[in-house]
Amino acid sequence: MILTKAQYEEIAQCLVSVPPTRQSLRKLKQRFPSQSQATLLSIFSQEYQKHIKRTHAKHHTSEAIESYYQRYLNGVVKNGAAPVLLDLANEVDYAPSLMARLILERFLQEHEETAPSKSVINSMLRDPSQIPDGVLANQVYQCIVNDCCYGPLVDCIKHAIGHEHEVLLRDLLLEKNLSFLDEDQLRAKGYDKTPDFILQVPVAVEGHIIHWIESKASFGDECSHHAYLHDQFWSYWNRDGISQCCSGWCGTPGLSSSSASASQSAGITGMRKHFLPGILMKCVCK
Amino acid sequence: MAAVLESLLREEVSVAAVVRWIARSTRGSEVTALTRPQDNPGEAAALSSLRPLRKEFVPFLLNFLREQSSRVLPQGPPTPAKAPGASAALPGRPGGPSRGSRGARSQLFPPTEAASTAAEAPLARRGGRRRGPGPARERGGRGLEEGVSGENLPGAGGRRLRGSGSPSRPSLTLSDPPNLSNLEEFPPVGSVPPGPAGTKPSRRINPTPVSEERSLSKPKTCFTSPPISCVPSSQPSALDTSPWGLGLPPGCRSLQEEREMLRKERSKQLQQSPTPTCPTPELGSPLPSRAGSLTDEPADPARVSSRQRLELVALVYSSCIAENLVPNLFLELFFVFQLLTARRMVTAKDSDPELSPGVLDSLESPLFQSIHDCVFFAVQVLECHFQVLSNLDKGTLKLLAENERLLCFSPALQGRLRAAYEGSVAKVSLAMPPSAQAVSFQPETDNRANFSSDRAFHTFKKQRDVFYEVLREWEDHHEEPGWDFEKGLGSRIRAMMGQLSAACSHSHFVRLFQKQLLQMCQSPGGAGGTVLGEAPDVLSMLGADKLGRLWRLQERLMAPQSSGGPCPPPTFPGCQGFFRDFILSASSFQFNQHLMDSLSLKIRELNGLALPQHEPSDEDGESDVDWQGERRQFAVVLLSLRLLAKFLGFVAFLPYRGPEPPPTGELQDSILALRSQVPPVLDVRTLLQRGLQARRAVLTVPWLVEFLSFADHVVPLLDYYRDIFILLLRLHRSLVLSQESEGKMCFLNKLLLLAVLGWLFQIPTVPEDLFFLEEGPSDAFEVDTVAPEHGLDAAPVVDQQLLYTCCPYIGELRKLLALWVSGSSGRSGGFMRKITPTTTTGLGAQPSQTSQGLQARLAQAFFHNQPPSLRRTVEFVAERIGSNCVKHIKATLVADLVRQAESLLQEQLVTQGEEGGDPAQLLEILCSQLCPHGAQALALGREFCQRKSPGAVRALLPEETPAAVLSSAENIAVGLATEKACAWLSANITALIRREVKAAVSRTLRAQGPEPAARGERRGCSRACEHHAPLPSHLISEIKDVLSLAVGPRDPDEGVSPEHLEQLLGQLGQTLRCRQFLCPPAEQHLAKCSVELASLLVADQIPILGPPAQYRLERGQARRLLHMLLSLWKEDFQGPVPLQLLLSPRNVGLLADTRPREWDLLLFLLRELVEKGLMGRMEIEACLGSLHQAQWPGDFAEELATLSNLFLAEPPLPEPQLRACELVQPNRGTVLAQS
């Protein structure tokens, strides 16, 4: 499904300083009933990440951390069962999972005396049962399950989507009888940076010749497109030695061609609509 | 200049500043940059005052070092310090003061009468190998010059003093204008000295202190001195306080005395010398004398006298070398190697008594006071040039790595060299099998239609026969002593040339001549004596393998002959001599003109040849195979070009060369005016410019150097050629070896260019000031012109074999080291490998090998008579099939072995437990098991080539090809392809298997790493599965929603319906059964979420939608859901499920919030877990036990204790049937908990 730039911007408009919770997503769904939850979540997640990138620093000053921690301590003393941490995160406009991490770090610093390693923190966030303090464990868990943009669960969902779409794409290529080399084969050949698939025989789609396909299971806004271009696509290009490169979202210029849609594979009909739901296929064309 | 060095030594200026200072001057950049921020202002000031002297610094430094080393290398520098000294102030004037230093090259173009002299030279050189310790110096032309110059010792010594021997007054001496009219000092190059004494060209000679105790008539090997070890003790202690610790032994003989002795020696020697013009052979004395009377002085790092000073000079010197500020990289390396292998110190006789301690004049005291100093200095310099060293051939590396002095002075460098040696594949063999055959009849050019008349046609036929007759005769006789080309063949050749009346006949003959030239000489080395079926029967009897050994043996026996010193003059080795002599003897103007035309054309054609460019992307095993072919093609083209250009240069400049001295003054001006009118025979300037622009310098420059090496003295003064020299100089300067970057020139390419250019700059006809002057227009050379992304320069086209073939003089380095080893063999044991004679007994038993040689010659003969396209086709097919064969083997045999490796590894891991052991060790075990299977590769490869080649040949050759020709072509293609593939496979298959297995092992171990259990058997989806199950990401997201609802906070109207929960678990089951989209991390998270869900169910924390009364899940529904979960855990999850989380304090704590607390679901769950075997009783007990340690409200702790008692009280293994019926009734636990 193709989302126009105007639609995209309308959605993004609604997401300004909205906490990344289940409730927000529900409201969004009511507002845009024609968009699938996956699309909305993807846009939400991306917009929210941009927001966090901008504001991240101010939550990490030692003063801020200290004041959050004190507020948390006061809150749980009053009522340990109340969603203290989650409310705090929403109030200061910070992702609950990230707030949980902040407080957990601070907590461990106080109780363990040595600065906790990153892997310890990550492991506690993945499994809050390991957190020595029961109240904090519950608070952290609450933050994590209520955060729809950050946290180990969300990361896992994103990773799963990426994997699923790679599989879908592979099936599609097999179905269309296109001969390709996948990432593992490429790596075995010694490529250092690999796209998901390199077509052994290029195909032409709507006037563009496609040499390779990279599926990104995320919404392709302008900003992330540029980042990917920089990080990955040019390096593929350098290695595949294609003389000229133009990459766009699924062949049509600009953002209007962005695709981010349904969570089910029902929409896949073939290469004519050369995108897959919920993912972006970025084609480098000759 | 000395001032600069002195201020450097006094640490007034830093090395970096000095190098910047020099480099800037030579690059001719603006002076304003002198005070850069990083420059210490003091340094800058110190240096800026010396600004006018900048460009003289490098020559000064080089001369200084040579000067200083004269005591160690008493025979004087073998390396002509082509450093003009003061003469640099006279740009454009030929013949600087050190002109004489290259007098040896005056023998380059000997008049024909002197052929006998020339013929003897090789003999003399051959003897050089056995000669004394003086490395290479006495070899070849250089030796000649020494013998000559030795007679003028007093004069030469005087010059030394004037030149740089008194560095305390540098400016004075430097401004001393050279006396150009003094024929003794500036001898005419090319002149043959009229007599043995008096008017020989002199060069800077370093007085050689000689001791008395020498054996008769062996001057070279008899330089001895009191052992250096006695020096310190006999030294007055006051001297030791001098910063440079003089270390001069007392009782030194005066230099005058030495000279007297030398003179006597000389006269003795002259009496014995049969050929006074060429005293070289007599100079060398047999080696054995050294073993007896001369022992090498051991070098000891602890006894280096002035480390700091040596380090500084070494650093400046190294930097100059690294920046290409010295004319010839390899010459400097040679010099450094000489220092490294210096045998002993000659006692310094000219010690200055007034050199009192405390005087800080750094240049006043000798730099090298002992062998220790020399070796230390040499090692310091070598350390800076490891990269160059590591790119030398394997033999040199071996000798270097095994050099005990190097080990002693720098174990680190020695270690790196050893590593480089072990990793090196650069085995260089300069003696290649000569492919000599007559040029076949070329139907397209040699037929009657191409001749003006029948007569011309038949004349040409005859000429052809005469030509080959002459060639054969030359072959048979040219090595015989006393045979003279001109005497033997001159008249016949001239008679033949006389018959070539028609112009077109000339062109035909020239084509034949040129083709024959290429055919005979282009094979690397070109010096092989075997041509036209010389003793083929004996050789082919040996078979290919033995033949290779024979060639190696021959190479070792003949090696010293191939070049003379580090900068030999241009020569015509081997067969090339025939062609040169032919041209000289024919002395036919028409022939020369046609030859030049033809050579120019061919050079243009080859130079413009589109050579394949290397794709740097995919460095893989099999691309090596392809690339080898391309590299070989490049080598063939380059060597052909060099050969052609050499002859073109020879013929083109022939009329202008002569024995007379280069003209000077007005005469020169008029000659210049005249010559500048003459158009160049080939527009080499344009070709060079284009070559540079297209980044093909690596192809163009080497042949251009060959061409220019034959230029006469006037040539470098002509504007046209001057431009070329300036371009070459700029190129030389820009080839900084340490700067390597993507798209720039490859290291070995640079090394080749540096070697050939360095050699060119040492050619006598190239004015030495040219190198240090270079103030031409800077826009003439722009390296960064618009050029293709990857020119030939960036491709690794040069390998060591080509480098050494083009520049055999680099091999001098190896000889120097080998000489050192052989000299000190008494100490270090049998270092030189003995040549083991092979018996011929086995020959009869190996008919196949014999026939191999015959087969090869048959194939050659076959192609000879077929159109060239046939040969190209066959070679192409062989090339491709060979390459494909390697790929095929890799995809089949190697892939199989890798699979075997993987399964073996699995077994290994199972037997060794989860630890698995050391990966490196595992790899070794696997490789030792699998690599022997690589032997199959050859058989498989042979079979593959056999199968594939004939079809390809058949498809590519014309339909009409006769059957016999076709089958021969097929067979040859099979043979060549097999040879190619098998050569690669036998050399690389083990490494390939090793590499692949290594990759597989690390892959397996990586996958093994984090969760070994997850690696257990993994079932795919059933065959009938259509992959319609919900996507894992969707499920995680859904379950997460439920969890967040349950954990809260939530709105009052939020909740889930029991149906939804059931549906969700149903979907989870589907997803887990269809594994199409499931990746391990997703499965892990699903497992964890399902456990959390179970905990919430047990604690009854899930908000249920529906009528308000039914806010909670019905007990039966909850059990049903738990059953579903249990079955998912049991049946469908393939990864581990973290069930212990069910009993984590946090999840059990959920129960504490519910009122009334209900324990029956938990008890039910625990029992089921045990029953289904999902958790052991012990495990649960342990979890329950640890629960007690947590802080709970009093009543909750009590209930918990009751629960665990209850659970523990149950019989360990109850009957399943019993349990099932018990489910229906409220069990005891519930009752108890509710009570």
Write out pLDDT tens, residues B884-902.
998 888 888 888 888 888 8
Give domain status of residue A234, yes or no: yes
Is B57 within 8 Å of B19 (Cβ atoms)? Answer: no
> Residue A218 carries which DSSP code?
S
Q: For the segment B973-999, what is each residue's pLDDT rounded down to a tens digit? A: 998 899 888 888 888 888 888 888 888
Give domain status of residue A268, yes or no: no
**How many Cα atoms are found within 13 Å in the side-chain-facing hemisphere of B90?**
20
A127 touches chain B (CB under 8 A): yes
Is B849 within 8 Å of B545 (Cβ atoms)? Answer: yes
Q: For the segment A255-283, what is each residue's pLDDT rounded down to a tens digit? A: 322 332 222 222 222 222 233 322 333 33
In angstroms, rounded to a whole number, what is the distance separating the alpha carbons of residues B612 and B624? 14
Q: For the segment B646-680, what is each residue's pLDDT rounded down to a tens digit? A: 999 999 988 888 777 777 778 888 888 888 888 88
**In sequence order, which ranges of B1099-1212 are alpha helices (DSSP H)?**
1115-1127, 1145-1153, 1160-1171, 1177-1187, 1194-1209
Residue for token pair 């083929």: B536
A134 touches chain B (CB under 8 A): yes
In angstroms, rounded to a whole number, what is the distance separating the alpha carbons of residues B377 and B339? 8
In angstroms, rounded to a whole number, what is the distance separating the alpha carbons of residues B225 and B229? 11
Nearest residue to B345 via CA among B369, B367, B365: B369
At residue B409, the pLDDT reads 83
For residue A8 the two structure tokens come to 């995209």
Shortest Cα distance, chain A CAs vs residue B1077, angstroms: 5
Say if strands A246-249 and A280-285 run parallel, antiparallel, or are unpaired.
antiparallel
For an interface test with B, which of A24, A86, A141, A153 has the most B Cβ atoms less than 10 Å from its Cβ? A153
Beta bridge partners of A204: A209
For an interface test with A, which of B617, B996, B1043, B1077 has the most A Cβ atoms less than 10 Å from its Cβ? B1077
- Whether residues A190 and B620 touch (CB distance < 8 A) is answered with yes
In angstroms, rounded to a whole number, what is the distance separating the alpha carbons of residues B325 and B99? 20
For residue B945 the two structure tokens come to 């080539």
Give domain status of residue A273, yes or no: no
Residue B1211 dihedral angles phi and psi, to the nearest 5°: -65, 145
For residue B94 the two structure tokens come to 């030929």
- Whether residues B1144 and A167 touch (CB distance < 8 A) is answered with no
Q: What is the mean pLDDT of chain A?
A: 72
Residue for token pair 């013998």: B147
Chain B residue with CA closest to A130: the answer is B1144
Greater pLDDT, B643 or B768: B643
For an interface test with A, which of B1031, B1148, B1183 has the most A Cβ atoms less than 10 Å from its Cβ? B1031
In angstroms, rounded to a whole number, what is the distance separating the alpha carbons of residues B764 and B95? 9
- Whether residues B1081 and A156 touch (CB distance < 8 A) is answered with yes
- Whether residues B1047 and A145 touch (CB distance < 8 A) is answered with yes
- Is B1043's pLDDT higher than 60? yes
- Whether residues A153 and B1085 touch (CB distance < 8 A) is answered with yes
At residue A140, the pLDDT reads 92
* Type of residue found at B496: M
Residue A134 with chain B: CB contacts under 8 Å: 1145-1146, 1149, 1190-1191
Number of domains in chain A: 3
In angstroms, rounded to a whole number, what is the distance separating the alpha carbons of residues B1201 and B1194? 11
- A93 and A122 part of one domain: yes
- A77 and A10 part of one domain: no
A16 sits in the region (left: phi over 0; alpha: psi -120 to 50; else beta) called beta
Q: b or e along B490-519 (b: 16 or more beta carbons within 10 Å of the residue's beta carbon)?
A: beebeebbeebebeebbbbbbbbbbbbbbb
In angstroms, rounded to a whole number, what is the distance separating the alpha carbons of residues B802 and B810? 12
- Whether residues A83 and B1049 touch (CB distance < 8 A) is answered with yes
Closest Cβ–Cβ partner in A23, A153, A263 for B1031: A263
At residue B443, the pLDDT reads 52
- Whether residues B1149 and A134 touch (CB distance < 8 A) is answered with yes
pLDDT mean over B1022-1030 = 76
- A66 and A44 part of one domain: no
Residue B1051 with chain A: CB contacts under 8 Å: 23
At residue B656, the pLDDT reads 85
Q: Which of helix, strand or coil describes residue B195?
A: coil
For an interface test with B, which of A126, A129, A244 has the most B Cβ atoms less than 10 Å from its Cβ? A129
Q: Which of helix, strand or coil describes residue A135?
A: helix
Shortest Cα distance, chain B CAs vs residue A129, angstroms: 6
**How many Cα atoms are found within 13 Å in the side-chain-facing hemisphere of B462?**
14
pLDDT band at B645 (very low <50, low <70, confident <90, very high): very high
Most confident of the following: A275-279, B411-415, B476-480: B411-415
A122 touches chain B (CB under 8 A): no
Long-range pairs of B224-231 with CB within 8 A, sequence gap ≥ 24: B224/B293, B224/B294, B224/B344, B225/B249, B225/B344, B225/B345, B225/B346, B225/B347, B226/B347, B227/B297, B228/B297, B228/B344, B228/B345, B228/B370, B228/B371, B231/B370
Nearest residue to B817 via CA among B398, B426, B1211, B525: B398
Nearest residue to B413 via CA among B405, B323, B815: B405
**How many Cα atoms are found within 13 Å in the side-chain-facing hemisphere of B717?**
23
Between helices B371-384 and B411-423, what is the axis angle to 10°?
A: 50
Residue for token pair 């220790």: B372
- A160 and A210 part of one domain: yes
Residue A22 with chain B: CB contacts under 8 Å: 1041, 1044-1045
Closest Cβ–Cβ partner in B1034, B1088, B1147 for A263: B1034
- A84 and A141 part of one domain: yes
- A130 and A168 part of one domain: no
Closest Cβ–Cβ partner in A83, A137, A164 for B1033: A164
Chain A residue with CA closest to B997: the answer is A188
Greater pLDDT, A111 or B1005: A111
Q: How far is CA B556 from CA B398, B560, B562, B834, B1234, in A?
A: 16, 8, 11, 11, 102
Closest Cβ–Cβ partner in B1033, B1037, B1047 for A141: B1047
- A36 and A93 part of one domain: no
Is B199 within 8 Å of B155 (Cβ atoms)? Answer: no
Is B88 within 8 Å of B55 (Cβ atoms)? Answer: yes
- Whether residues A128 and B1040 touch (CB distance < 8 A) is answered with no
Which of A105, A122, A150 lies at the terminal end of a domain, its last residue?
A150
Nearest residue to B59 via CA among B309, B377, B311, B317: B317
Residue B1126 dihedral angles phi and psi, to the nearest 5°: -60, -40
Is B815 within 8 Å of B136 (Cβ atoms)? Answer: yes
Give domain status of residue A260, yes or no: no
Sign of CA dihedral B322, B786, B699, B626: positive
**In sequence order, which ranges of B654-741 are alpha helices (DSSP H)?**
665-675, 684-693, 697-708, 719-734
Shortest Cα distance, chain A CAs vs residue B695, angstroms: 20
Give domain status of residue A13, yes or no: yes
Give domain status of residue A201, yes or no: yes
Q: For the segment B456-475, what is each residue's pLDDT rounded down to a tens digit? A: 777 777 777 788 888 888 88
- A108 and A91 part of one domain: yes
Shortest Cα distance, chain B CAs vs residue A140, angstroms: 11
Q: Which of helix, strand or coil describes residue B1078?
A: coil
Greater pLDDT, B794 or A141: A141
A224 touches chain B (CB under 8 A): no
> pTM for the whole thing?
0.49
Closest Cβ–Cβ partner in B1032, B1145, B1149 for A164: B1032
- Is B83's pLDDT higher than 70? no
Closest Cβ–Cβ partner in B615, B619, B1153 for A190: B619
A188 touches chain B (CB under 8 A): yes
Q: b or e along B742-781 (b: 16 or more beta carbons within 10 Å of the residue's beta carbon)?
A: eebbbbbbbbbbbbbbbbbbbbbbbbbbbbbbbebeeeeb
- A33 and A81 part of one domain: no
Q: Which of helix, strand or coil describes residue A281?
A: strand
Residue B1052 with chain A: CB contacts under 8 Å: none
- Is A238's pLDDT higher than 50? no
Between helices A134-146 and B1145-1153, what is the axis angle to 10°?
A: 90
A141 touches chain B (CB under 8 A): yes
Q: What is the mean pLDDT of chain B?
A: 68
| Host domain of residue A225 | 154-247
Residue B1047 with chain A: CB contacts under 8 Å: 138, 141-142, 145-146
In angstroms, rounded to a whole number, what is the distance separating the alpha carbons of residues A85 and A73? 10
- A112 and A129 part of one domain: yes
Closest Cβ–Cβ partner in B615, B1043, B1149 for A145: B1043
Residue A168 with chain B: CB contacts under 8 Å: 1077
A139 touches chain B (CB under 8 A): no
In angstroms, rounded to a whole number, what is the distance separating the alpha carbons of residues B301 and B182? 45
Most confident of the following: B17-26, B30-39, B378-387: B378-387
- Is A31's pLDDT higher than 80? yes
Which of A150, A175, A191 lies at the terminal end of a domain, its last residue?
A150
Is B878 within 8 Å of B950 (Cβ atoms)? Answer: no
For residue B125 the two structure tokens come to 């050189």
At residue B743, the pLDDT reads 62
Residue for token pair 């799963």: A160
- Is B540's pLDDT higher than 60? no
Q: Which of helix, strand or coil describes residue B105?
A: helix
At residue B914, the pLDDT reads 53
Close Cβ partners of B336 (under 8 Å, ≥ 6 residues apart):
B377, B378, B381, B382
In angstroms, rounded to a whole number, what is the distance separating the alpha carbons of residues A37 and B488? 100
At residue B307, the pLDDT reads 78
Which of A133, A150, A167 lies at the terminal end of a domain, its last residue?
A150
> Is 0.90 exceeded by the ipTM?
no
Residue A138 with chain B: CB contacts under 8 Å: 1047, 1146, 1149
In angstroms, rounded to a whole number, what is the distance separating the alpha carbons of residues A103 and A131? 12
- A29 and A77 part of one domain: no
Question: Above pLDDT 70, what percent of chain B?
Answer: 59
pLDDT mean over A78-102 = 89
A229 touches chain B (CB under 8 A): no
Give domain status of residue A203, yes or no: yes
Interface residues on B facing A, Cβ-Cβ cutoff 8 A: 615, 617-620, 999, 1027, 1031-1034, 1036-1037, 1040-1041, 1043-1045, 1047-1049, 1051, 1076-1077, 1079, 1081-1082, 1084-1085, 1088-1089, 1138, 1141, 1144-1147, 1149, 1153, 1190-1191
- Is B879's pLDDT higher than 50? yes
Closest Cβ–Cβ partner in B1034, B1088, B1146 for A138: B1146
Residue for token pair 């000891």: B300
Give domain status of residue A104, yes or no: yes
- Whether residues B1047 and A142 touch (CB distance < 8 A) is answered with yes
Most confident of the following: A178-182, B599-603, B691-695: B599-603
- A50 and A70 part of one domain: no
CA angle, corner A45, sides to A40 and A46, nearest 5? 105
Nearest residue to B1094 via CA among B1165, B1175, B1032: B1165
Strand (E) or helix (H) holding B1047: helix B1032-1047
pLDDT band at B825 (very low <50, low <70, confident <90, very high): very low
For an interface test with A, which of B1047, B1088, B1142, B1153 has the most A Cβ atoms less than 10 Å from its Cβ? B1047
Q: Residues of A numbered 240-259 whose beta carbons fall under 8 angstroms of chain B's beta carbons: which are they?
A: 241
- Whether residues A137 and B1146 touch (CB distance < 8 A) is answered with yes
**In sequence order, which ranges of B913-1031 are alpha helices (DSSP H)?**
919-930, 936-956, 963-1008
Q: For the segment B546-584, what is each residue's pLDDT rounded down to a tens digit? A: 555 665 665 555 444 444 677 778 888 878 888 888 898
Residue B902 with chain A: CB contacts under 8 Å: none
At residue B192, the pLDDT reads 38
At residue B464, the pLDDT reads 79
Is B100 within 8 Å of B183 (Cβ atoms)? Answer: no
